[in-house]
């Protein structure tokens, strides 16, 4: 399903915000953290555009490690790892709130068959 330009902008904006979470330069509200995670899960294929937050050498290593996997499976594995990283950082910022959202996050990940996502 193609995204409208407005939806595409929102998706890429949330992808950008996820990088801010990594560098801890800004704090967000609990709901914003949750919305970023949901957006990443629902639009996991966009994470590929930023090479899953990996350096080129590391990305090549993963591609070699998972060479038996299809491109779609590799995308899901690497996207899940990136989302798990963001979830871990969010957990340290607002653990009680985000714990209540684990069932929703897991259900969304299951819908998109992100089997490597772990909440």
Structure tokens at 114: 């992100």
pLDDT tens, position by position, 18-41: 999 988 888 999 999 999 999 999
Distance from C-alpha of 92 to C-alpha of 77, rounded to nearest angstrom: 23
Distance from C-alpha of 69 to C-alpha of 4, rounded to nearest angstrom: 31
Whole-structure pTM value: 0.90
Chain centre to alpha carbon of residue 68: 23
Distance from C-alpha of 101 to C-alpha of 98, rounded to nearest angstrom: 5
Residue 1 pLDDT exceeds 60: no
Structure tokens at 44: 């996991």
pLDDT tens, position by position, 60-85: 999 999 999 999 999 999 999 999 99
Q: Which of 76, 93, 73, 91 is nearest to 41 (CA)?
A: 76
């Amino acid at each position: 399903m193609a995204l409208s330009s407005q939806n595409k902008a929102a998706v890429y904006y949330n992808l950008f915000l996820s990088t801010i979470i990594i560098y801890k330069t800004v704090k967000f509200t609990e709901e914003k953290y949750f919305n970023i995670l949901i957006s990443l899960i629902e639009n996991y294929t966009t994470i590929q555009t930023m090479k899953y937050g990996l350096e080129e050498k590391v990305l090549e290593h993963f591609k070699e490690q998972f060479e038996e996997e299809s491109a779609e499976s590799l995308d899901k594995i690497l996207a899940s790892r990136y989302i798990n990283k963001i979830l871990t950082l969010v957990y340290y910022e607002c653990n009680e709130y985000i714990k209540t959202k684990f069932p929703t996050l897991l259900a969304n990940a299951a819908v998109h068959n992100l089997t490597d996502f772990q909440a």
